[in-house]
Amino acid sequence: MTPVKSVLMISQTFHPVIGGSERQAFEISKALAGRGVAVTVLTRRPPGLPAEETVAGVRIKRFACPGSGLLNSIFFMSRVFAWMLAHAAGYDAAHVHLASSPAVAAALAGRLTGRRIVIKLGGGKGVDEISLSQKTLAGRLKLAFFRYVRPELLVMNGEVLEWLRATKEYAGMNLRLFRNGVDTGRYTPPLYNEKINAKAALGLDNAAVFLFVGRLSPEKRVRELVEVWAELLGEETAPPRVRLVIVGGGPDGPALKKAVADLGLSGSVLLAGPQQDLLPYYRAADVFILPSISEGLSNSMLEAMASGVAVLASRVGGAKDAINPGVNGSLFDPLSRTELKEGLRRHIADRSLAVKMGEQARRTATEKYSMARVTDDLLAIYGES
């Protein structure tokens, strides 16, 4: 293995932009910088941000890209490609976050310069980048190019990996099962009194708190979660002391707000909107809910697990890899309202269940998903000859 001294990160959007991919790219970059690796990030320049700055030891270069859509993508690809060729001596490997258009530029530059290129695939089965790319001519050309140059493709869950390997057209790709990482030093389980105080700070008293964190979009099935929540509370003879907290924004936000009002749930459902700092919500939560119909590997789920929160997740994507049912959480069929309702009811009936599972969730996070371990493994991948 070749020692790695410098790494180039490529992401269409980056810190301070908030999103799962952006958060993971930033955390990985900070972890590498903490190991003494020189990290440079190439990204687009949103309005109001400087062309270059250093944050937490990470050098960020932002390219101004005029226009929108295809024109914007072409400008960004061109800038990335030219920069990689001109500065090839300044980095040992390049890590592209998501297999979008900049990944093509990076893969070609890597082919010409001999630098190692690693591309992280995003999304769960059906909404993953391979599936979406199949639907357009440009996407199919991109996949054909990847098969030719064979960059290292990091797949975030076993479900997508098995599907790709079983598909003849993509079996020849250079695939590797990997995982997201979580800062287990920042996200830690609170003491009992700290959890009580965290609930009070959010106005949740000492209720059992069920938490969703993520984008409010159709594949997350948050609207269905709210409907099941209403059914469950309607079936209880005495209203339980429970709260459902939903953190995030997205296209389903307005419809979700209306559903909460129409179903009479304003007293038991808190729509917290997007939040820069998620730690107070993890510390207040007892159970993290992930009802997605398709998922890669949720950063929010890993952060909740590191915070000692039990998980109730749909049986898809990375949750299937991370959750040992009955030990550190529970899994349910994303299309089964009955299974989701049963999972919620079990935790409402026995609050100690979340405590036991939360302890095991923390152990899973530290042993398998800690950013320190992920950084070790990435450095080994970068240094492969």
- Whether 236 maps to a domain, the answer reads yes
- The answer to whether residues 128 and 197 belong to one domain is no
Beta strands 152-155 and 175-177, pairing class: parallel
Half-sphere exposure of 191 toward its Cβ, with a 13 Å CA cutoff? 2
Between CA 381 and CA 123 the distance in angstroms is 21
* Contact criterion met (CB below 8 Å) for 245 and 285: yes
- Whether 187 maps to a domain, the answer reads no
Would you report the helix, strand and coil content of the chain in percent, each value rounded to 5? Answer: 45, 20, 35
**Paired residues of 9 in beta bridges:** 41, 95
Using the structure block, give the residue that is written with the tokens 């490609």.
Answer: 81
pLDDT attached to residue 385: 67
Domain that holds residue 82: 6-181+370-382
- The answer to whether residues 71 and 210 belong to one domain is no
- The letter for the amino acid at 127 is V
- The answer to whether residues 315 and 357 belong to one domain is yes
- The answer to whether residues 145 and 269 belong to one domain is no
Which stretch of DSSP H or E encloses residue 347? helix 337-349
- The answer to whether residues 36 and 115 belong to one domain is yes
Q: Give me the CATH number covering residue 93.
A: 3.40.50.2000
- The answer to whether residues 175 and 89 belong to one domain is yes
Between CA 117 and CA 134 the distance in angstroms is 22
Between CA 378 and CA 152 the distance in angstroms is 11
The number of beta carbons lying within 10 Å of the beta carbon of residue 211 is 25
Strand residue runs (E) in the chain: 6-10, 38-44, 52-55, 58-63, 93-97, 116-120, 152-155, 175-177, 208-213, 242-247, 269-273, 287-290, 310-314, 329-332
- The answer to whether residues 48 and 133 belong to one domain is yes
- The answer to whether residues 71 and 93 belong to one domain is yes
* Contact criterion met (CB below 8 Å) for 297 and 180: yes
Question: Residues in the chain with pLDDT < 50?
Answer: none
- Whether 69 maps to a domain, the answer reads yes
pLDDT attached to residue 147: 85
* Contact criterion met (CB below 8 Å) for 230 and 263: yes
Question: Who's near 46: CB < 8 A, 6+ residues apart?
Answer: 13, 17, 62
- The answer to whether residues 207 and 177 belong to one domain is no
* Contact criterion met (CB below 8 Å) for 353 and 310: yes
At 36-46, the pLDDT tens digits run 999 999 999 99
Domain count for the chain: 2
At 169-179, the pLDDT tens digits run 676 788 999 99
